[in-house]
């Protein structure tokens, strides 16, 4: 790998290990994956980018789910990573993973989709997403975080996890929050894509997810051929933070059972 990467990215694990690309949710950064990724890094190369406007990657005025997916492909190019990756996405990250599948299918060996959605935004949802964007720009990210934190976690969430998630949300610049909210408003309908998925796919959901409920997981499990659904007890919308050890165990056991690192693009 040479030169400056297009996204701020943390790498854990040796570069020769099979690559796993983790895509974070809204409105947080790669840090949400760290507790789980640190447990996986002995066997996998864990690639943890910050999307534009999150963590340490500067914001861009115009973003969409498609541009985030292309940013990730650009990151793999800049890393000269030619092997197929296991693509792991949570919530907005899962929506981006489905878009990445449509645009960059040959780069994916397997997928892990967590607490996410497949539908296009509803008319009511588009209005609400614009309200969130305006709230971030006019009143700051904390105002948005305060409306999200209770629903993002299981009702009995650990206080330290709650403080950590609040801190990650509040660290996101308002421009990143606004761009992400508008990107979510404009997302495509991924329902038809579900039946086209032909890579091993693991679905992981928190039993107490109040944002993307288990009914969504059940539809995805039914539509994605051969998919496996794992439910994490005691977790809400962010199992890799709320139940990092169990999340890492489930992902690790499943990844060991799949070959996800065959060369692609003639490498
Ligand atoms: C996320 O965690 O990425 C968001 O909750 C996505 C959403 O609100 O749909």
pLDDT per residue as tens digits for the range 143-182: 999 999 999 999 999 999 999 999 999 999 999 999 999 9
Whole domain around residue 205: which residue ranges?
9-119+189-260
- Cα of 216 vs centre of ligand 1, distance in Å, is 13
- Cα of 265 vs centre of ligand 1, distance in Å, is 32
Provide residues with CB under 6 Å of ligand 1.
25-26, 91-92, 117, 184, 211, 237
Q: Is residue 97 part of a domain?
A: yes
Q: Is residue 165 part of a domain?
A: no
Q: Is residue 51 part of a domain?
A: yes
- Cα of 5 vs centre of ligand 1, distance in Å, is 26
CA-proximal residue: ligand 1, atom 4 (nearest): 26
Among 23, 27, 92, 128, say which to mutate for ligand 1: greatest number of ligand atoms within 8 Å of CB: 92
E strands present in the chain: 9-12, 19-23, 45-49, 85-90, 108-114, 201-206, 228-232
- Cα of 105 vs centre of ligand 1, distance in Å, is 23
pLDDT of residue 265: 45
Number of domains in the chain: 1
- Three-class DSSP labels, the chain: CCCCCCCCEEEECCCCCCEEEEECCCCCCHHHHHHHHHHHCCCCEEEEECCCCCCCCCCCCCCCHHHHHHHHHHHHHHCCCCECEEEEEECHHHHHHHHHHHHHHHHEEEEEEECCCCCCCCHHHHHHHHHHHHHHHHHCHHHHHHHHHHHHCCCCCCHHHHHHHHHHHHCCCHHHHHHHHHHHHCCCCCHHHHCCCCCCEEEEEECCCCCCCHHHHHHHHHHCCCCEEEEECCCCCCHHHHCHHHHHHHHHHHHHCCCCCCECCCC
Structure tokens at 214: 């288990």
pLDDT per residue as tens digits for the range 172-211: 999 999 999 999 999 999 999 999 999 999 999 999 999 9
Q: Is residue 244 part of a domain?
A: yes
pLDDT per residue as tens digits for the range 87-136: 999 999 999 999 999 999 999 999 999 999 999 999 999 999 999 999 99
Average pLDDT across the chain, whole number = 95
Percent residues over pLDDT 90 in the chain: 92
Among 149, 184, 186, 204, say which to mutate for ligand 1: greatest number of ligand atoms within 8 Å of CB: 184
- Cα of 26 vs centre of ligand 1, distance in Å, is 5
Which ligand 1 atom sits nearest the alpha carbon of residue 26? 3
Banded model confidence at residue 262, pLDDT cuts 50, 70, 90: very low
- Cα of 253 vs centre of ligand 1, distance in Å, is 26
pLDDT per residue as tens digits for the range 218-258: 999 999 999 999 999 999 999 999 999 999 999 999 999 87
Banded model confidence at residue 3, pLDDT cuts 50, 70, 90: low
Q: Is residue 251 part of a domain?
A: yes
Q: Is residue 163 part of a domain?
A: no
Q: Is residue 147 part of a domain?
A: no
Which ligand 1 atom sits nearest the alpha carbon of residue 117? 9
Which ligand 1 atom sits nearest the alpha carbon of residue 25? 3
Among 28, 91, 119, say which to mutate for ligand 1: greatest number of ligand atoms within 8 Å of CB: 91
Which ligand 1 atom sits nearest the alpha carbon of residue 238? 2
CATH of the domain at 28: 3.40.50.1820
- Cα of 104 vs centre of ligand 1, distance in Å, is 23
- HSE of 166, CA atoms in CB hemisphere, 13 A: 13
- Cα of 107 vs centre of ligand 1, distance in Å, is 25
pTM score, whole prediction:
0.95
Q: Is residue 23 part of a domain?
A: yes
């Amino acid at each position: 790998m040479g030169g400056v990467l297009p996204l701020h990215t943390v790498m854990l694990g040796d570069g020769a290990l099979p690559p796993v690309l983790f895509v974070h949710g809204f409105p947080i950064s790669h840090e949400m994956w760290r507790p789980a990724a640190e447990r996986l890094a002995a066997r996998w190369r864990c690639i943890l980018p910050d999307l534009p406007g999150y963590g340490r990657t500067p914001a861009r005025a115009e973003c969409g789910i498609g541009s985030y997916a292309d940013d990730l492909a650009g990151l793999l190019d800049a890393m000269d990573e030619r092997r197929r990756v296991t693509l792991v996405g949570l919530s907005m990250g899962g929506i981006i993973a489905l878009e990445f599948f449509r645009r960059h299918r040959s780069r994916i060996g397997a997928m892990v989709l967590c607490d996410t959605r497949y539908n296009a935004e509803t008319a009511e949802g588009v209005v609400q997403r614009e309200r969130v964007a305006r709230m971030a720009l006019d009143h700051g990210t904390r105002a948005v975080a305060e409306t999200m934190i209770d629903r993002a976690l299981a009702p009995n969430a650990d206080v330290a996890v709650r403080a950590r998630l609040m801190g990650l949300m509040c660290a996101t610049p308002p421009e990143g929050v606004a761009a992400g909210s508008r990107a979510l408003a404009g997302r495509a309908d991924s329902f038809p894509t579900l039946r086209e998925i032909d890579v091993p796919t693991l679905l992981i959901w928190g039993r107490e997810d109040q944002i993307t409920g288990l009914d969504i997981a059940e539809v995805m499990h039914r539509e994605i051929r051969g998919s496996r659904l794992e439910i994490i007890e005691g977790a809400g919308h962010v199992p890799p933070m709320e139940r990092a050890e169990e999340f890492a165990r489930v992902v690790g056991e499943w990844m060991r059972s799949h070959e996800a690192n065959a060369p692609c693009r003639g490498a």
